[in-house]
Amino acid sequence: MTFPISLALPVRYPGPPPAAADVVVIGGGVIGVMTSLYLAEAGQKVILCEKGRVAGEQSSRNWGWVRQQGRDPAELPIMVEAMRLWQGLSQRLGDGLGFRQTGVMYLANADRDLEGYERWLPHARENGVDSRMLARCEVEAMLGTSSRWKGAMYTPSDARAEPWVAVPMLAALAVEAGVRIVENCAVRGLDVAAGRVVGVVTEAGRIACDRAVVCAGAWSRLFLGAHGVAIPQLSVLSSVAATEPMPEIYPGAAADDDFAFRRRADGGYSLAPGSGHDFFIGRDAFASFGAYLPVLKKDYRSTAFRLAAPAGFPDAWGTKRQWGDGVSPFEAMRILNPAPNMTLIRRMQDAFARAFPALGRPKLKTVWAGMIDTMPDVVPIVDHAPLAGLTIATGMSGHGFGIGPGMGRVVADLVMGRAPGHDLSRFRLARFRDGSKIAPGPAL
Ligand SMILES: Cc1cc2nc3c(=O)[nH]c(=O)nc-3n(C[C@H](O)[C@H](O)[C@H](O)COP(=O)(O)OP(=O)(O)OC[C@H]3O[C@@H](n4cnc5c(N)ncnc54)[C@H](O)[C@@H]3O)c2cc1C
């Protein structure tokens, strides 16, 4: 099976885009889609421009975990809201979303893992989340295998959903609410006059608007950089596989350092190396190296450094940083589709087979990878830009799928100048410039 969202998929939302809107949303991942939906429901005229296909990048390639467990304390209230929104969306859209509250489990290989989980638990209690520790024997009973795990942290109300089905369904809901989506429509830049946004320039012409939202995932740094707005965002390559149908060992999602798995609606598992990933060195990586030292110190062993990104990637050595109104790097790479790291995939298959010997080595039906956009403190930027009319919602740092509905609601309110209902100060853009200490979130 090839990956379900690719350029072979016919364009579902053709252009050209209308000439004007209240708000243009740049990027058709889960954040852009949900922001558009809530803006349209509030009566705004919204155009969402996607350079390739809706959910072609991270929003279809992720593991499908919808988790509260292990979140940064500032994200947790938004995630709790997101869980309620997922429940409502699932009632509206039905089983196709694949939303099921089947639990998330973090398995502990060492005592220090257990200690880390215990330190996080008070955040769950403060937010009414049902996370708890599991003893070794409880883990063995729930997963049906004896193992080396010392215990786990478990959140029964955490959930799963089917990314490459769910996000296109949510996009269809946004269209029903009045959003005009245009695929194959890269936004090349902003039209700025007298210090404020007066439109966006797309490959299919200009759209007049007085507000724009950058939800461009791994491309946000390149897009914003061309307008003088610097953000220290980088991307890491994360590899994933879908197995053939297998017996159900546990209906939810679980992970340790060696592998992560999530039961899928089709009877297989989405399997991934637990923490292993690849990182391409480029100009942005050099520029932001210092900012990432705190996270690197915590986790450099799981990173495989590679000297250069493939041509056309956001931080490839040859990627243009300025293009005026001409052809941009965005339309030159409609879908970022990195090759998975097969060494990591094979190791993960072996680790899974060792942990579940009764199941044998899992047979893989598809493998793929995604570029995870991340920030030095592993929490996003959700803020107004220092350019009137521009809002930024990016850098979801590997956990933006589950929180997508909550973030979309928050961003929509931010764009409309309404109180977002949560404290967003942790997500402010200025934290990277005002001398604040970079404090990485739990990234558990
Ligand atoms: C392998 C992997 C596993 C993950 N697992 C999980 C998980 O289990 N749970 C979880 O919560 N999160 C997970 N994540 C993270 C999650 O997928 C992302 O945080 C989330 O999808 C980000 O959504 P987004 O809308 O910000 O970005 P994206 O989904 O990347 O969307 C951005 C879109 O913007 C478009 N775009 C960019 N520039 C332009 C432009 N100039 N003009 C027009 N369009 C443009 C792109 O084509 C793209 O479609 C995972 C990610 C990966 C890659």
Q: Are 309 and 235 in contact (CB under 8 A)?
A: no
| 213 vs 207: CA distance, rounded Å | 13
271's enclosing H/E stretch is: strand 269-273
| 233 vs 210: CA distance, rounded Å | 26
Q: Which atom of ligand 1 is nearest to the CA of 163?
A: 17
Q: Which atom of ligand 1 is nearest to the CA of 239?
A: 1
| 55 vs 75: CA distance, rounded Å | 22
Q: Are 96 and 169 in contact (CB under 8 A)?
A: yes
Protein residue whose Cα sits closest to atom 31 of ligand 1 = 29
| Ligand 1 pocket check for 59: Cβ under 6 Å | yes
pTM beyond cutoff 0.95: yes
Max Cα-Cα span within the chain: 67
| Amino acid at position 311, single letter | A
Distance 379 CA to ligand 1 centre (A): 14
In this structure, what are the phi and psi dihedrals at residue 224, rounded to the nearest 5 degrees?
-70, -35
Beta-bridge partner residues of 370? 238
Q: Are 50 and 158 in contact (CB under 8 A)?
A: no
Q: Which residues contact 234 (CB under 8 A, 6 or more apart)?
A: 221, 279, 284, 285, 288, 292, 315, 373, 374
Distance 418 CA to ligand 1 centre (A): 25
Using DSSP's 3-state secondary structure scheme, residue 76 falls into helix
Mutate to test the pocket of ligand 1, among 401, 403, 411 (most ligand atoms within 8 A of CB): 401
26's enclosing H/E stretch is: strand 23-26
Residue 287: predicted pLDDT: 95
Q: Which atom of ligand 1 is nearest to the CA of 334?
A: 47
Distance 141 CA to ligand 1 centre (A): 35
Protein residue whose Cα sits closest to atom 20 of ligand 1 = 400
For the chain, how far is it from start to end, CA to CA, in angstroms?
A: 32
Residue 443: predicted pLDDT: 62
**pLDDT per residue as tens, the chain (444 positions):** 689 999 999 999 999 999 999 999 999 999 999 999 999 999 999 999 999 999 999 999 999 999 999 999 999 999 999 999 999 999 999 999 999 999 999 999 999 999 999 999 999 999 999 999 999 999 999 999 887 899 999 999 999 999 999 999 999 999 999 999 999 999 999 999 999 999 999 999 999 999 999 999 999 999 999 999 999 999 999 999 999 999 999 999 999 989 999 999 999 999 999 888 999 999 999 999 889 988 888 777 788 999 999 999 999 999 999 998 899 999 999 999 999 999 999 999 999 999 999 999 999 999 999 999 999 999 999 999 999 999 999 999 999 999 999 999 999 999 999 999 999 999 999 999 999 998 888 865
Q: Which atom of ligand 1 is nearest to the CA of 402?
A: 11
| 369 vs 355: CA distance, rounded Å | 24
- Pairing relation of β-strands 259-263 and 132-135? unpaired
Residue 230: predicted pLDDT: 97
Distance 357 CA to ligand 1 centre (A): 34
148: left (phi over 0), alpha (psi -120 to 50) or beta: alpha
Q: Are 394 and 215 in contact (CB under 8 A)?
A: yes
| 327 vs 305: CA distance, rounded Å | 30
| Ligand 1 pocket check for 252: Cβ under 6 Å | no
Residue 262: predicted pLDDT: 98
Q: Are 309 and 282 in contact (CB under 8 A)?
A: yes
| Ligand 1 pocket check for 51: Cβ under 6 Å | yes
- Pairing relation of β-strands 205-208 and 196-202? antiparallel
Distance 247 CA to ligand 1 centre (A): 30
Query: Residue 226 is encoded by which pair of tokens?
Result: 């061309």
| 153 vs 132: CA distance, rounded Å | 6
Closest C-alpha to 169, from 348, 30, 324: 30
| Ligand 1 pocket check for 385: Cβ under 6 Å | no
